[in-house]
Amino acid sequence: MDNQFNQLSFHPVIKEVINQLAFHEPTPIQQQAMPSILQGTSVIGQSQTGSGKTHTYLLPLFNRLDAAKQEVQFVITAPTRELASQIYDEVKTIIQKAEKADEWSAKLLVGGTDRQKMLDKLKKPPHIIVGTPGRILDAVKSGAVSIYSSSAFVIDEADLSLELGLIQDIDQLLIRTKEDLQILAFSATIPEQLEHFYRKYMENPLRVKINDSLLPETLEHRLISAEHRNDADMIYGISRAIQPYLAIIFTNGKDEADALAASLQQKGLKVGIIHGGLSPRERKRTFKEIQNLHYQYIVATDLASRGIDIKGVSHVINAQLPKEDNFYVHRAGRTARAGMEGTVISLYHDADNQLIGKLQQKGITFTFWDIRNGEWQQTKSRNERNRRQKTASQTDGAAWQKVKKPKKVKPGYKKKMKKQKETIKKTMNQNPKK
């Protein structure tokens, strides 16, 4: 099979890494952004989750790493320690496959680790720094490392960095770098505030937006009405019908996540929890247990939908739909990655109709289901149900208007009127033109 990466100007050692990674055909974001990154151009990349953004910048940066210069050459920031750790793992994998462990060096700088040990490891500057903005800034301010020598600066998950208030730390890092710095910013969305930030630091960047589809075509979206029903009972019923390899269950807050996880554990499901309220030690233990397939279900908040990449997720379950459509997209993006199939199952209430309509306008097709006795049963869509309810209400009103009101009120008159209304309504349904 001809490797299409060979058409890009990678050095032989990076081409060998690409072969060992079993990459044969660049993803759309890689195809459009890699040539410019290789040339040193700043890039703003926008594409869906799971589109290969990490290697889009890592491979070109490694291509120009100079082992002879013992200084920081590239800085890569990520908004959460989990995402930073995952990027760092990819960096180590590339170094290992290139057989350059004695020549290329990288360091991970994240919170939740011993600060002094981290600073001690920086006595010999690494070629690549990967970490969270706050911890990198701490190391720079303390004088443990300088990033002025860096030629490229990566902002991964830039929109989440903005949401979490980390852009200020990134700003403080960038003012400590050279003016001709190559900046590579990647995210699924670009809010207006992010545009202002980009204009401050980037001059004529290449903009790459991959919008072939909002989410992969291999992703199925199912809705189940949760009106007047218990979330934990419904999800337990869903569990009997899907038997997932691994499912992430999303809630809209930490308290909801804790309560739902406790209920599902009581029902006998193997459930782990991920949210911002966990201590660093708890988070580390949970992720290790996830990697060891200790859980079949993970109850999580939206931070997890953006800050981590859990492999093997076959199902996403929304115990509560999010308030914004972008969050639905980010949650759904946890499954159906790298061409695999996936299913998003969302419990919804009448109050969610506006969000569902928005997502449908964006091209997401929902099907409507229920679970009965552990089996899927397709139901009418919410629009059909609404129309039916509306029509029934209109018919009811019209029938009442035709009921003859008694001149004298006698005992049982209401019952007689109601019976008369039902007879008229039945006739109207049988002869809709009358």
User: Which tens digit of pLDDT belongs to each residue from 125-183?
Assistant: 999 999 999 999 999 999 999 999 999 999 999 988 988 899 999 999 999 999 899 99
User: Which tens digit of pLDDT belongs to each residue from 15-37?
Assistant: 999 999 999 999 999 999 999 99
Question: Lowest-confidence range among 24-38, 333-347, 377-391?
Answer: 377-391
Token readout for 60 is: 């070109």
Contact predicate 33/47, CB 8 Å: no
Read off the pLDDT of each residue in 305-321 and give the average, rounded to a whole number. Answer: 85
Q: What is the DSSP string of 321-377?
A: --SSHHHHHHHHTTSS-TT--EEEEEEE-GGGHHHHHHHHHTTPPEEEEEEETTEEE
Read off the pLDDT of each residue in 361-382 and give the average, rounded to a whole number. Answer: 88
Residue type at 117? K
Contact predicate 140/176, CB 8 Å: yes
**252 DSSP 8-state letter:** S
More confident residue, 336 or 345: 345
Query: Helix 231-242 vs helix 254-266: angle between axes, to the nearest 10 degrees?
Result: 60
Tell whether the model's pLDDT for residue 385 goes beyond 90: no
User: So what's the pLDDT on residue 111?
Assistant: 85
User: So what's the pLDDT on residue 310?
Assistant: 80
- 271 pLDDT tier (thresholds 50, 70, 90): very high
- Work out the angle at residue 127's Cα, subtended by the Cα atoms of residues 49 and 148, and round it to the nearest 5 degrees: 95
Residue 308, phi then psi, degrees to nearest 5: -140, 160
Highest mean pLDDT among 39-48, 99-108, 380-389: 99-108
Kindly list the distances between the CA atom of residue 292 and the CA atoms of 15, 285, 287, 305, 417, in Å, as whole numbers in the listed order. 32, 11, 9, 20, 68
Look at residue 144 and give its three-state secondary structure: coil
- Tell me what percent of the residues of the chain surpass a pLDDT of 70: 85
Contact predicate 187/158, CB 8 Å: yes
325 vs 231: CA distance, rounded Å: 21
Contact predicate 186/155, CB 8 Å: yes
Tell whether the model's pLDDT for residue 391 goes beyond 70: no
User: So what's the pLDDT on residue 82?
Assistant: 84
User: So what's the pLDDT on residue 114?
Assistant: 82
Question: Lowest-confidence range among 39-53, 78-92, 101-115, 295-309?
Answer: 295-309
User: So what's the pLDDT on residue 174?
Assistant: 97
Tell whether the model's pLDDT for residue 87 goes beyond 90: yes
User: Which tens digit of pLDDT belongs to each residue from 226-249?
Assistant: 999 999 999 999 999 998 999 999
Average pLDDT, the chain: 87
- 305 pLDDT tier (thresholds 50, 70, 90): low
Question: At which residue do the structure tokens 């291999």 appear?
Answer: 218
322 vs 256: CA distance, rounded Å: 13
User: So what's the pLDDT on residue 206?
Assistant: 96
More confident residue, 430 or 115: 115
Tell whether the model's pLDDT for residue 417 goes beyond 70: no
- Give the start-end residues of each E strand in 192-303: 206-209, 219-225, 247-250, 271-274, 297-300
363 vs 351: CA distance, rounded Å: 21
Token readout for 84 is: 């930073």
87 vs 408: CA distance, rounded Å: 83
Q: Which domains does the chain have, with CATH numbers?
A: 4-209 (3.40.50.300), 219-381 (3.40.50.300), 394-426 (no CATH)
- 392 pLDDT tier (thresholds 50, 70, 90): low
Residue closest to 345 by CA, chosen among 219, 198, 176:
219
- Tell me what percent of the residues of the chain surpass a pLDDT of 90: 61
User: Which tens digit of pLDDT belongs to each residue from 185-221?
Assistant: 998 888 888 999 999 999 899 999 986 556 777 889 9
Token readout for 287 is: 């992720």
User: So what's the pLDDT on residue 95?
Assistant: 98
Tell whether the model's pLDDT for residue 407 goes beyond 70: no
First and final C-alpha spacing in the chain: 70
Contact predicate 19/163, CB 8 Å: no
More confident residue, 426 or 300: 300
